[in-house]
A and B are shown apart, each in its own frame.
Chain A
Amino acid sequence: MKPSSRLPWLAILTVLALLWLLPFYTMLGNSLKTMREISQSQYVLPPRGLELQNYFVAFQVLRHGLVNSALVSVPATILAVLLGSLAGFFLARMRLRFARSIFFIATIATFLPYQIVLIPLTQFLATFKLVNTRPGLIIAYLILNTPMAALITATFFQTIPAEVQEAAALDGCGPVTFYWRILLPVAQLGIISTAILIFTLVWNEFLIATAMTQGPFNQMATPVLAGLRGNYAQLWHIQMAGATLTSVPPLAIFVFLGRYFVSGLMAGTLKG
């Protein structure tokens, strides 16, 4: 047996990893540079000091956007996971005759590009005077993400042993009690993974956020950040500080709850 040498692989991985870190270094490093360093085009070397003032400037611009993003992403995620998991429970555990058909049509709705429903969605929200409001965005993201939440939670619920449900049924436990008291606690890792995936999707979303809102007070963080490119054209350090600020929530989730992020991501592909 030939001993498999790890060294060449580690070398390849190291080189690629450095390459993959370069944009992050660019973003973080330059977000801390002074106007002087930027005007002298010192973009590649690390910053000489920590110019936190940039973050202050970027935060002033992004403040409303970040608050809007939080106030939209969190409720939209909670509602989508709640409504989705109700359906996921019935689809995965109740031996419905139409479970597969529902799963099929919900999968199609999950994976189609948003552009296909964008115009009607705008009209639909306009009918209820919800364009350019946070409730409007919450409803839009709720509609777009509930089918995905149903599918992902269904795949997690499937892995729970049938005995758990049978024992609960013998004790006279009905579907509502079972879902709320037993299923959600037992499957909480799956629920958290689903919620993390959907939160990240909504926080990072741009198309709907751009189509539905205008003006600095109503926009989410992503369109405001995109606007920074125009308004702070040569002020790269401010743009980079803004990009960093917008990335903090998803990156924090990735750093502290990476395992759930990965398991949500895998479940989200419905790979079974």
Chain B
Amino acid sequence: MPYTRAHVLLFLGPLLLIVLLMYGMMAWTVAISMSDWVGLAPVWKFNGLQNFRTLVVGALQERFFTNLRNNVIWLVVFIVPTASLGLLLAYGLDLSGKAERLFRPLFLYPLTLSFVVTGTVWAWMYDPEAGVINNGLRMVGLGRWAQPWIADPGLATLCLIGAAIWQYTGFAMTLYLAAIRDIPRETMEAARVDGASDVQVFRYVVVPNVGHATMIVTALLILITLKVFDLVWVMTFGGPGISTEVLPFFMFVATFRQQFVGIGAAISVIILIMAVAVVVPYSWWSMRRLQV
């Protein structure tokens, strides 16, 4: 289909303009991270890597590394259970025949909710006094299992992660179910004819054939952990103390609450560096799948 320059401008112009603007804003963030902008109005005094030094070896060192450690905890404790449970559910759904239609939405619906809704509901479930979990445990005589949950600095991050697992397992499940359905039926049937049990089919046929989905799930869940903000804000606001703070949360508080905009931008740049390590390979891979 023939087209002119005017067509290119009309069709691609808006996207290119927006993408250009976004890259410009990224560069802008990098520039701000090297200025000592404090306060509401922009201050463009170049101070090199001073903000990064303040974070990594300076006054904010302890807070920064608490944040970073929590991000690492998120990375490990959120991703592995979400992906494994998603895969298990997907295999279960695949085997459950018609019941799949009943079960699938029950695991997927949390994904449609806002993290703010999830946070509001779960924060209460975890509440040490009024929480549904502790009250439920007491009701069935398991009161000794009651915990301070989000009021305990050692448990709080894990509690937040629990809510996130609840929300994202359906996402992993959906991608894994599609991957399992892409495995040729004959392969599964052949294994069964040879006497393989459900567990053996899972181990030797399903797991080796869903690597593609694992890659997508892992990459996208990593990105979730690099921008987790809403749940922390709503459920604990970083507390008790700063025990549940993560970098995306600290970035917001430093910038918009404390007006250390240069520091906030420096945290953004650190998030950017970590995100690029995932996003660039992912984008490269999805570009290669575009058939043009």
Chain A residues at the B interface, C-beta cutoff of 8 Å = 1-2, 4-6, 9-10, 12-13, 16-17, 20-24, 26-27, 41, 43-44, 83-84, 86-87, 89-96, 99-100, 102-109, 111-121, 123-124, 142-144, 146-147, 150-151, 154-155, 158, 165, 168-169, 173-176, 178-179, 200, 203-207, 210-211, 222-223, 225-226, 228-229, 234, 236, 239-240, 242-243, 246-247, 250-251, 253-255, 258, 261-262, 265-266, 269-272
Q: Is A246 touching B114 in the complex (CB atoms < 8 A)? A: yes
Which chain B residues border A173 with CB–CB below 8 Å? 1
Which chain A residues border B116 with CB–CB below 8 Å? 204, 206, 222-223, 225-226, 246
Which chain A residues border B193 with CB–CB below 8 Å? 1
Contact residue among A87, A119, A246 (Cβ-Cβ distance under 8 Å from B117): A246
- State the CA gap A13–B173 with chains docked (Å): 12
Expressed in whole angstroms, the minimum distance between the Cβ of B274 and any Cβ of chain A is: 9
Contact residue among A144, A146, A236, A254 (Cβ-Cβ distance under 8 Å from B14): A146
Q: Is B292 touching A99 in the complex (CB atoms < 8 A)? A: yes
Q: Is B112 touching A251 in the complex (CB atoms < 8 A)? A: yes
Which chain A residues border B252 with CB–CB below 8 Å? 115, 118, 207, 210-211
Chain B residues at the A interface, C-beta cutoff of 8 Å = 1-3, 7-8, 10-12, 14-16, 18-19, 21-26, 28-29, 32, 42, 88-89, 92-93, 95-97, 99, 103, 105-125, 130-132, 135-136, 139, 166, 169, 171, 174-175, 178, 192-193, 195-198, 212-213, 216, 220, 223, 226-227, 229-230, 233-234, 248, 251-252, 255-256, 261, 264-265, 267-269, 271-272, 275-276, 279-280, 282-284, 286-292
Expressed in whole angstroms, the minimum distance between the Cβ of A114 and any Cβ of chain B is: 7
Q: Is B26 touching A116 in the complex (CB atoms < 8 A)? A: yes
Which chain A residues border B283 with CB–CB below 8 Å? 104-105, 107-108, 111
Apart from A109-B23, A115-B229, A119-B264, list 6 A-B contacts with CB within 8 A: A27-B117, A84-B15, A108-B283, A109-B18, A120-B24, A165-B1
- State the CA gap A23–B178 with chains docked (Å): 27
Q: Is B136 touching A44 in the complex (CB atoms < 8 A)? A: yes
Which chain A residues border B276 with CB–CB below 8 Å? 108, 112
Contacts A90-B12, A99-B290, A228-B120; A6 near B97 (Cβ below 8 A):
yes
- State the CA gap A138–B265 with chains docked (Å): 24
Contacts A111-B223, A168-B1; A116 near B272 (Cβ below 8 A):
yes
Which chain B residues border A203 with CB–CB below 8 Å? 114
A42's closest neighbor in chain B, by CB?
A: B135
- State the CA gap A142–B17 with chains docked (Å): 12
Contacts A10-B96, A20-B107, A20-B166; A204 near B115 (Cβ below 8 A):
yes
Which chain B residues border A103 with CB–CB below 8 Å? 286-287, 290
User: What are 15 residue pairs bridging A and B, where the CB atoms are less than 8 Å apart in the complex?
Assistant: A13-B92, A83-B18, A113-B271, A115-B227, A117-B26, A117-B29, A142-B18, A147-B19, A174-B7, A178-B1, A206-B229, A226-B230, A229-B123, A240-B120, A265-B171
Which chain B residues border A236 with CB–CB below 8 Å? 124, 130
Q: Is B109 touching A251 in the complex (CB atoms < 8 A)? A: yes
Across the A-B interface, give the 9 residue pairs with the lowest CB-CB distance, nearest first: A204-B114, A87-B15, A113-B227, A272-B289, A107-B283, A120-B25, A270-B286, A120-B28, A117-B25
